[in-house]
Amino acid sequence: MAPEIPQDTSATPKPGDGYVQSFARGLEVIRSFSAQAPQQTLSEVAARTGLTRAGARRILLTLQALGYVETDGRLFRPTARILDLGFAYLSSLPIWNLAEPVMEDLVQRVRESSSAAVLEGLDIVYVLRVPTHKIMRTNLGVGSRLPAFWTSMGRVLLAALPEDELLARLAQLPRSPRARYTAHTTQDDAGLLARIREVRAQGWCVVNQELEEGLISIAAPLVDRAGRTVAALNVSGQANRTSEAQMREEMLPALLAAAQAIGQRMLRG
């Protein structure tokens, strides 16, 4: 089975004048549904969110009245209207419309899947994906989250942070037990920092089977007109047929060219 990817709960805000707790709880109920839990009973939602049954019931009935969930009387499941929430983000940023045709050309050229992601807390969140075929046991799509410190796109995005912010996020990682997804996973702080600083120096990143056995990926930054890294672009492959050397020699030039092309489109857009 694929490794269970922890959610980033490192910076949970506290209730206050600018924090609507009931709204936050509603979002937690929405987030409790996943590929592993596509439909849930009231008790399961309450257990996953830490709410009382009464609290979970009120939120579920509200979401049902708004058309975001449906129920057969026992099981609750999200409706397609949930997609409106994510689409609002994607449609508000023209970068993704600009990036998609470039990524499609990249996939045709290298014959491997390509994705774009942004950094959120300790995770990367996929915002665009152009697959060729399934290479991970984890089902990836728009909205999927993976741990930033053990992915090529994550390390590219972390490398773009100021050093003090990078160190602060590293400090938020669990100390014990530290994640070990495969035998290749870098676990210690010094090793993680060394790899991220190397990415900062060279401008791109290869991660070889640190998150999942057999998965190798290479990533580069997407830079906006102000020179800020706003996202990362990658190419993923299978380690048994694409070596790290091949990634560097054959995939990297095409990846960097695609990242530059997307940057140029952002300048014109």
Cα-based torsion angle of the residue sequence 189, 192, 195, 197 in order, rounded to the nearest 10 degrees: -60
pLDDT at position 14:
58
**For 22-55, how does the pLDDT look when each residue is reduced to its tens digit (9 = 90+)?**
888 988 999 899 878 889 999 999 999 999 999 9
Q: What is the mean pLDDT of the chain?
A: 86
Summarize the confidence of residues 191-218 as an average pLDDT.
96
pLDDT at position 17:
59
Percent with pLDDT over 70 in the chain: 86
pLDDT at position 98:
81
**For 141-152, how does the pLDDT look when each residue is reduced to its tens digit (9 = 90+)?**
777 889 999 999
Query: What single string gives the DSSP state of each residue in 206-225?
Result: EEESSSSTTEEEEEEEEE-T
Percent with pLDDT over 90 in the chain: 61
Give the residue carrying structure tokens 């490794």. Answer: 3
Summarize the confidence of residues 228-242 as an average pLDDT.
92
Q: 45 vs 21, 31, 52, 76, CA distance in Å?
A: 17, 10, 9, 9
Summarize the confidence of residues 44-73 as an average pLDDT.
93
Give the integer Cα–Cα distance in Å for 194 and 177: 21
Summarize the confidence of residues 78-103 as an average pLDDT.
75
267 versus 164: which is more confidently predicted?
164
- Cβ contacts of residue 199 below 8 Å, gap of 6+? 155, 156, 158, 159, 205
The stretches of 11-151 forming alpha helices (DSSP H) are 21-31, 42-49, 53-66, 83-92, 95-110
CA angle 15, 126, 96 (to 5 degrees): 105
**For 105-136, how does the pLDDT look when each residue is reduced to its tens digit (9 = 90+)?**
999 999 999 999 999 999 998 988 998 865 44
**For 215-232, how does the pLDDT look when each residue is reduced to its tens digit (9 = 90+)?**
999 999 999 888 899 999
Q: Give the tokens for residue 42.
A: 């009231």
Of 1-10, 125-134, 165-174, which has the strongest mean pLDDT? 165-174
91 versus 140: which is more confidently predicted?
140
CA 146 distance to own-chain centroid = 5
Give the integer Cα–Cα distance in Å for 20 and 49: 16
Summarize the confidence of residues 93-111 as an average pLDDT.
85
